[in-house]
Chains A and B, each alone.
Chain A
Amino acid sequence: MYQNLLSIFLYLRSPFFFLFFCLVCFSSYSQENITVTGKVTDNQTNLGLPNVSITLKGTTSGTTTDVQGNFSIAARPGSRLIFSYLNYAPQEVTVTTNGNINIALASQSKELDEVVVVGYGERKKKDVTGAVSSVGAKDIEKSTAFTPEMALQGRAAGVFVNSGGGDPQSRPTIRIRGVNTFGFSEPLYVVDGVPIYEGGAGVTSGAVGDIRSPVNILSMINPQDIESISVLKDASAAAIYGVRASNGVVLITTKKGKSGKPRVEIASSYGIQNIPKTISVLNTQQYFALVKEAYANNPDANTSFEARFGPLYDAANSQYVGNGPTYDWQKELLNKNAPIHDHSIRVSGGNEGTTYYLSVGYAKTESPLKANYLERFSIATNIESRISKFISTGLTLRLVQENAVQNTGTDLGTMMTTIPFQPFYDANDPTGFAAVTYGEFEPNPDFDPTKLDPGASFNYKPGFPKLLWGPQTRFNAFAFQSLNDNQYDLSRILGNAYVQIEPITGLKLKGSFGGDYFVNLRKSWGNNDAYRFSQTPGNPFAGQDGKAVGSYGERQGKTYNINKELSLNYNRTFLSNHNIDVLLNASEQFGRWNVSDLSGRVDYADPQFRGIRNQPPYTNGFAGILQEDALIGYLGRISYKFRDKYYLDGTLRYDGSSRLAPGNKWDKFPSFAVAWRISSEDFFPKTNFINDVKIRGGWGTLGNYQSAGYYKFLSNVNFGPDYSLGSGNGNGIGSQLQGARLPDFANTTLTWEKLKTTSIGVDAILFNNKVSLTAEYYSKTTFDIIQSVSLPPNTGIEVPADLNVAEVSNKGIELQLGYNAKLGPVDFNIAGNITTVKNRVEKLNAGTPLGGEAGRIEEGYSLFYLWGQKTGGIFQTQAEIDAWRKSHTDVSIGQSATNPATGYRYKPGDMYFQDVYGNPRNSKERFNQAPDSLINSNDRTYLGKTIPGYYYGLNIGANFHGIDISIFFQGVGDVQRYNYQRSSGEGMGSLANQWSTVLDRWTPSNPSTTTPRAVYNNPSNPSRFSDRYVEDASYLRLKNLQLGYSLPKTILGRTGFIQNFRIYASGVNLFTITPWTGLDPEFDGIPPTRQFLLGVNASF
């Protein structure tokens, strides 16, 4: 079947066909226009309706009503005008020669006629058959985030959003209906038809993760320009992007102009943000008490505490710091009341032939931590023009410049464990900061300044560098922030142009050409003086001639992405009730990511002179990265509709990706969906409490090529390793030579990762159009999952290989409920949604589990579950220990089952662990279900799951005489996380500073049952990966509270030019209810901030 379709389509693609079309379809039209005027009112209240859209049928020209509901438009007699207004039934009226039209519109259910962008077109919500969530401009504007994805958090059922914290540059994590794969799990973003491509996407570690900018590239789209965000969640919805849609598709549609008078809108907001919580840590006195006690408790403390850790720790020494002041490193790092700016101006309008939208925006957000901000300048245009009766064309183009400074260089977690007696500032130091290390240098005998590469000019003298604050010295982040500089300079052009020909009504041929080009430049400056503030000081003179004051580097990543598409669409209604919509589409995408890097020393301190051009000619560079992707896809879609009652959609794709192995590059992906509006059946009772009911279901398959790395079917040659030969006879260095390695496992059978989805849902409008309900069950299975994991070490394969082996399922329910009502003068609405996810690994290669303790992948469990030992308790008495030891041996700390004198001997206050399983009895078994009295690595077990079991959002809004209020809650539940910060903050095994919670540690006089005693390098290893640090990470947040006031139309009418004026105050993350003991249950690194904002929106 699809072969036939394809051959027809291939013919259609030929240029001759186009030429034919083009020649046939040009004709001009002429008739005199007259001016039509009139008024649009509400059929019940008889009040004028403002902003009603009036379009001339068959054209894009049109206008809108003014504040009183009056309009004026030029039209030919006999042509038809369409009056449409949100939440009202549209009407069509024929223009008569008298030029006067007054009509009354009737309100109807708000939901059904909402238009939803579904990819290659729009549909009314009532006609949607697949699983689609949509968020409109109103809600997007309420989200104060810099980046558009955050507008989805809690507002779109089935869409899980983790903010990535309060760093304005961070990337939120989006997962649609669970996590499909261990590989690439990010949804596809499509901005105005251009699928976004990012080099290194999804990679957060290693060289690629480092080189890929930390700045979120989606922040380069101004949320103010967005009309709607649609999320396509199941196969039948996402099939049109099937080639890369298995993780769902996020369609971002930007605003367009409407014909009519020019409309000017301004939006401006200003706010501040702060991190709401820091962790209480020990002061200097408490710290010394703890580390002394911990050291004394160690059975191997064969050297005195003072001798082991030096004079700073020696109360008898003049350098002793134990009586000194306490420095609060966390507070010092905070950037209090970090400002947030967002300002934009948009102009839109048009005439019957052409509409336009222009926008200019500026936004800047400072991080809640010092020395970090993100700033955006954006311009967007959107122009559409009907050139003749049959031809229309359009262009969207956005230019963005982003500047980011990223000098924080640390986080609160690091600050928590910094020793409390180490100061930040020192007035006597020329930099003003307290030094961390002290080094003395001596000239290198090999140094030859006459050479271009003179070698290291100085080496540290023996015994240097020295740490100034003892063995636990920490780097001085504040000095780094001041001396060094790390800036990002990102530029982007993103645009799409199309030409559409409609030779006969309903038949559209559209060719489009879109592209995204973005350059990410990192400019990094390292001051030679900075070594004094590092606890791991490099030699600043290495490879330099001693004159340099620092080093400067530029790393540039260029991404370009070209997308070409041709589609043929035919939509026609036959015999008045049968509607058919056929789409044939061919698309090709090519993306390239190219990274280069240059760096070298700089002999001038002036920031003005920092540049590659001012460096001496011995600049270092590295080869960088060059990655390319190509995709070709063919799509056929047929949609059939009978009387808005029965719906049928069928899609077939044929896709190819460059990333897969030859012979497996191409695959077919079919999908189907049906819907039945049961409420339109004659037998369905007409009542006021059930207004509309539609049952829908879909099935389909989608592909994911992005889990595959680049060229994983090949064995690449890498020139990373170096070795040196020829030393001897006085030369200790020899000559550095380049080596080669072939680190890959070439998988020659690598093929598509595929996703099968099934969803069944009900959409209903209830109780006199006041309640809307969507309930949906989904079930997805990803198979042939491309597993990119390290192979067993014995293979010696250095780079994780990509294999198609595993199967993962996600099942769950989505529920959305909305209520709209007018309670007297108050417009009241409440909307909530909840999504459940049951994630399960169904099958793995030979059943062999993967991954470590922090993210275990094992059959029958949720992906990335936490895996470790379970704590038993804390011994309170020697008798307890003796009793326990009779039946248990902790092998992992060296205890012997036969000889209790061997290995570590517990003392009261020590933590012990549970014997959960036994050692395997044979090589087939991983462990024995029956405990064996031995505690070792075979006792590791399930400790928690990292994929939330459910997440939800609740929005309550009210509108009263121009005052509007909206309260938005959002949360996740049934999820656990490992609290890494607490594990280093309560471990008490080193000289690092600790959380104040350790004041409750076990001592003979404080027999704690939760915190063990303090022991330096604790041989009982209570900080092993165990449930001790696994915590419930569920939370409920008051995400947004907004209070606004709009000037009444009556006052605005008097001004004559202001159409809309609203001021608002907004609070973000006002409170969070959570059992999580760390900084934040969502993200501990730089936690999400609490924000207070004031803003104004106006249109003219």
Chain B
Amino acid sequence: MKIFKIKSVLIVLVLIVAGSIAGCKKSRIDLLPHGPTEQSYFTKEDDYNKAILGVYAKMTDFFWYNGGAGSTPMPVFLLPGDDITTNNTNEEFEQFGSLQPSSGRLSYLYARHYQMIARANLILQKIGSVASGVYITPNMKNYHQGEALFLRGYAYYNLWNFFGTAPLVTERVTNPDQFNPTSSTGTQLLEQAIKDFGDAALLLPTSWDAANRGRVTANSANGFLGKSLVFKASATKTATDYPAAIAAFNKIAGAALVADFGENFAFDKENNQESLFEFQASQAFGFDNVWLDNDFDNAIGSLSIFWGFYDNNFALFGTSRFYATSKLAAAFEPLDPRIDSTLKPADRTIKKYVVRNKANQSGPGSVNNYRILRYADVLLLKAEAILQSGGSTTEAINLINQVRTRARAMRAGGLVPANRSTAETNKTTIMSWIMSERFIELAGEGQRWFDLRRWHMQGIITLDNSFFNSNTTTVSFQSPKHLNFPIPNSELDVNPNVVQNPGY
């Protein structure tokens, strides 16, 4: 009897085991992830909106602390040129000579720009085939498309200015055949930026509501379109791009210089009237972990920017802070009110972005936006375009004077900087006015190298070791080698079709 019972139990047991295996269907290995994939995504307007924010978010990588003063890409933007210097010995972005294809900062910046481009390319591909009914808000599809184009254009604008001949990728990479594109040539990258900014200008709104403040607008696109055209005219020494640049600048509506120059670098005056494009620095609501990149995870990855080189943050760990060059300090007329927002003449420490700053919770990071394009910059570029294309010198000088007037008016009864004389007709003199105005107005904003590089290409200036006015003694600038930074080894080592820039 007992034996029988055990047997019954056993039969059941064996049946269970056998049944479970017999039930093993081949389809059981067809597992899918427990999260959205491309196939299930892009079905709502908000999906696209999130993806666009993902493109913007990539800019964090350009400006954040990156877990170390030795890793953050900020010196690449700030240091090259004659406005900012440092006591760092062997500082490659100031001395040029030691610039190497193995530079970690360059490699990082290069890769992150292409990640931004890839994110934009993906959206452009998806938006091109979006089903009807996905977008409900009127015009939002155009806006998103415009934003993707703008941000891709901005990435190519930077890549051309830093590397010159990096590859041009305008399609989403979905096939191994696309892994190894060839180097671009000449101003190909800049031309792509011009095309993207031009297309974006036609799609973007003139403004956004308060909650969306910080997104790009038609003004942003027209500003960058004009700027890129001026750059191209400089680089190729042809005047034909200037009229198009002027036309683009003229389309900018509603922008104006703010009364207080210092507001352009104040955390509480972000996205103001003068601002055409800013990186929206912020802090993660949990804890802005400046050691983790933006993509890491919500509420943990960094959303902030690193201004530590300017304010001598503890997180420099022995790396020297940045200083204004004595050349820059001397360029200001002593009573120019802009100097108070720019530097401290006594020790040449930098005040821009720092005096009206707000550190985020974690110390090294800051929430103070990086101003990428200001209306003052546009006015001076427009002056340059008018001048270089043989337009009215009076009109050009008046544009310079707009910038000077704003500065002068900051002080009640101020006399400095005085207006430039509109009677001047010597093109070289007026150009030197433009150049010195850009030097003073835009000092320390990461614009200087781009200007110097293009003017040197144009033959207006000649860069040499003495030009840079560095605190260090071993500047070793070689032309044309250093006009393009080296293509990083991380690309060269794996892409046989890319050619290193000459000289490296």
For residue B37, give the distance in angstroms from its CB to the closest CB of chain A. Answer: 5
Return chain B residues, CB-CB under 8 Å to A721: 53-54, 57-58, 294-295, 301
Cβ of B330 < 8 Å from any Cβ of A? no
For residue A898, give the distance in angstroms from its CB to the closest CB of chain B. Answer: 9
Cβ of B333 < 8 Å from any Cβ of A? no
A512 B17 Cβ-Cβ under 8 A? yes
Bound Cα distance from A902 to B60, whole angstroms = 36
Q: Which of B29, B32, B317 contacts A632 (CB 8 A)?
A: B29
Cβ of A710 < 8 Å from any Cβ of B? yes
Give residues 965-990 of A contacting B (CB, 8 Å).
990
Bound Cα distance from A388 to B4, whole angstroms = 11
A923 B300 Cβ-Cβ under 8 A? no
Return chain B residues, CB-CB under 8 Å to A535: 317
Known A437-B314, A732-B270, A739-B51: A542·B17 in contact at CB below 8 Å? no
Return chain B residues, CB-CB under 8 Å to A710: 33
B53 A797 Cβ-Cβ under 8 A? no
B490 A793 Cβ-Cβ under 8 A? yes
Give residues 809-860 of A contacting B (CB, 8 Å).
845-846, 848-850, 852
Cβ of A18 < 8 Å from any Cβ of B? yes
Bound Cα distance from A892 to B504, whole angstroms = 7
B287 A543 Cβ-Cβ under 8 A? yes
Quick one: closest B residue to A307, CB to CB? B87
Give residues 389-410 of A contacting B (CB, 8 Å).
391, 393
Cβ of A315 < 8 Å from any Cβ of B? no
Known A849-B493, A902-B478, A937-B101: A745·B318 in contact at CB below 8 Å? no
B173 A742 Cβ-Cβ under 8 A? no
A893 B26 Cβ-Cβ under 8 A? no
Return chain A residues, CB-CB under 8 Å to B119: 741-742, 796
Cβ of B491 < 8 Å from any Cβ of A? yes
The segment from B195-203, B220-228, B277-285, B425-433 found at the interface with A is B277-285
Known A459-B359, A717-B35: A722·B303 in contact at CB below 8 Å? yes
Bound Cα distance from A14 to B23, whole angstroms = 9
Q: Which of B28, B33, B499 contacts A923 (CB 8 A)?
A: B499
Give residues 45-104 of B contacting A (CB, 8 Å).
47, 50-58, 60, 87-90, 95-102
B114 A794 Cβ-Cβ under 8 A? yes
Return chain B residues, CB-CB under 8 Å to A564: 17, 20-21, 24
For residue A468, give the distance in angstroms from its CB to the closest CB of chain B. Answer: 10
B496 A926 Cβ-Cβ under 8 A? yes
A722 B298 Cβ-Cβ under 8 A? yes
Known A718-B295, A794-B114, A896-B478: A727·B369 in contact at CB below 8 Å? yes
Among A15, A303, A743: residue with most chain B CB under 10 A: A15
A301 B268 Cβ-Cβ under 8 A? no
Cβ of A916 < 8 Å from any Cβ of B? no
A732 B358 Cβ-Cβ under 8 A? yes
For residue A632, give the distance in angstroms from its CB to the closest CB of chain B. Answer: 6
Cβ of B137 < 8 Å from any Cβ of A? no
Mask: chain A, 588-620; 1 = CB below 8 Å from B; 0 = not: 101000000000000000000000000000001
Bound Cα distance from A188 to B15, whole angstroms = 30
B317 A717 Cβ-Cβ under 8 A? no
Bound Cα distance from A473 to B282, whole angstroms = 28
For residue B410, give the distance in angstroms from its CB to the closest CB of chain A. Answer: 20
A542 B301 Cβ-Cβ under 8 A? no
Return chain B residues, CB-CB under 8 Å to A904: 97-98, 474, 476
Q: Which of A298, A538, A727, A733 contacts B362 (CB 8 A)?
A: A538
Quick one: closest A residue to B494, CB to CB? A792
Quick one: closest B residue to A499, CB to CB? B14
Known A18-B15, A630-B28, A725-B214: A388·B7 in contact at CB below 8 Å? yes
For residue A666, give the distance in angstroms from its CB to the closest CB of chain B. Answer: 8
Quick one: closest B residue to A741, CB to CB? B54
Return chain A residues, CB-CB under 8 Å to B99: 894
A631 B29 Cβ-Cβ under 8 A? yes
A795 B118 Cβ-Cβ under 8 A? yes
Return chain B residues, CB-CB under 8 Å to A1019: 89-90, 98, 474
Cβ of A891 < 8 Å from any Cβ of B? yes
A588 B270 Cβ-Cβ under 8 A? no
The segment from B138-146, B176-184, B235-243, B386-394 found at the interface with A is B176-184
Cβ of B6 < 8 Å from any Cβ of A? yes
Mask: chain B, 12-42; 1 = CB below 8 Å from A; 0 = not: 0111011111101010111111111111010
Give residues 710-729 of A contacting B (CB, 8 Å).
710-711, 714-729
B361 A539 Cβ-Cβ under 8 A? yes
For residue B303, give the distance in angstroms from its CB to the closest CB of chain A. Answer: 6
For residue B336, give the distance in angstroms from its CB to the closest CB of chain A. Answer: 25
Q: Which of B6, B98, B286, B488 contacts A620 (CB 8 A)?
A: B286
Q: Which of A891, A903, A923 contacts B497 (CB 8 A)?
A: A923
B3 A302 Cβ-Cβ under 8 A? no
Cβ of B442 < 8 Å from any Cβ of A? no
Give residues 437-472 of A contacting B (CB, 8 Å).
437, 453, 456, 459-460, 464-467, 470-472
For residue A551, give the distance in angstroms from its CB to the closest CB of chain B. Answer: 9
A728 B38 Cβ-Cβ under 8 A? no
Known A459-B361, A794-B495: A720·B297 in contact at CB below 8 Å? yes
Quick one: closest B residue to A1016, CB to CB? B89
The segment from A40-48, A150-158, A654-662 found at the interface with B is A654-662
Known A28-B3, A727-B369: A656·B180 in contact at CB below 8 Å? no
Bound Cα distance from A795 to B167, whole angstroms = 10
Q: How many residues of chain A get a CB closer than 8 Å to chain B's CBs?
A: 140
Known A308-B320, A662-B30, A728-B272: A722·B488 in contact at CB below 8 Å? no
Known A28-B3, A797-B118: A303·B38 in contact at CB below 8 Å? no
By size class, the interface of chain B is 35 or more
Quick one: closest A residue to B115, CB to CB? A796
A626 B280 Cβ-Cβ under 8 A? no
Give residues 764-803 of A contacting B (CB, 8 Å).
790-798, 803
The segment from B205-213, B247-255, B374-382, B443-451 found at the interface with A is B205-213
Return chain A residues, CB-CB under 8 Å to B363: 460, 465, 536-539
For residue B5, give the distance in angstroms from its CB to the closest CB of chain A. Answer: 11
Bound Cα distance from A629 to B28, whole angstroms = 10
Cβ of A735 < 8 Å from any Cβ of B? yes
Return chain B residues, CB-CB under 8 Å to A715: 37-38
B39 A739 Cβ-Cβ under 8 A? no
Known A657-B29, A736-B282, A740-B54: A18·B14 in contact at CB below 8 Å? yes
Bound Cα distance from A513 to B325, whole angstroms = 75
Known A631-B29, A718-B295, A893-B98: A727·B359 in contact at CB below 8 Å? no
Return chain B residues, CB-CB under 8 Å to A740: 41, 47, 50-51, 53-54
For residue A773, give the distance in angstroms from its CB to the closest CB of chain B. Answer: 43
Known A513-B17, A588-B28, A732-B367: A542·B476 in contact at CB below 8 Å? no
Cβ of A422 < 8 Å from any Cβ of B? no
A interface residues (Cβ-Cβ under 8 A, vs B): 13-15, 18-19, 22, 26, 28, 207, 298-303, 308-309, 387-388, 391, 393, 437, 453, 456, 459-460, 464-467, 470-473, 499, 501, 511-513, 535-539, 541-543, 564-566, 586, 588, 590, 620, 622, 626, 628-632, 656-658, 662, 665-666, 710-711, 714-743, 745-746, 790-798, 803, 845-846, 848-850, 852, 891-896, 902-904, 919, 923-924, 926, 936-937, 990-991, 1016-1019, 1021, 1024
A588-B21, A740-B54, A896-B476 are known; give 11 further A-B pairs, CB within 8 A.
A13-B22, A302-B472, A626-B34, A710-B33, A717-B41, A732-B268, A739-B55, A792-B180, A794-B166, A798-B295, A919-B500
8 A-B pairs with the lowest CB-CB distances in the bound complex, closest first: A894-B97, A796-B118, A471-B318, A724-B282, A542-B361, A739-B53, A732-B267, A511-B17
B interface residues (Cβ-Cβ under 8 A, vs A): 3, 6-7, 10-11, 13-15, 17-22, 24, 26, 28-39, 41, 47, 50-58, 60, 87-90, 95-102, 107, 110-111, 114-119, 121-122, 166-167, 169, 173-174, 176, 178-182, 210-215, 267-272, 280-289, 291, 294-301, 303, 314-320, 358-359, 361-364, 367-369, 471-474, 476, 478, 488-500, 503-504
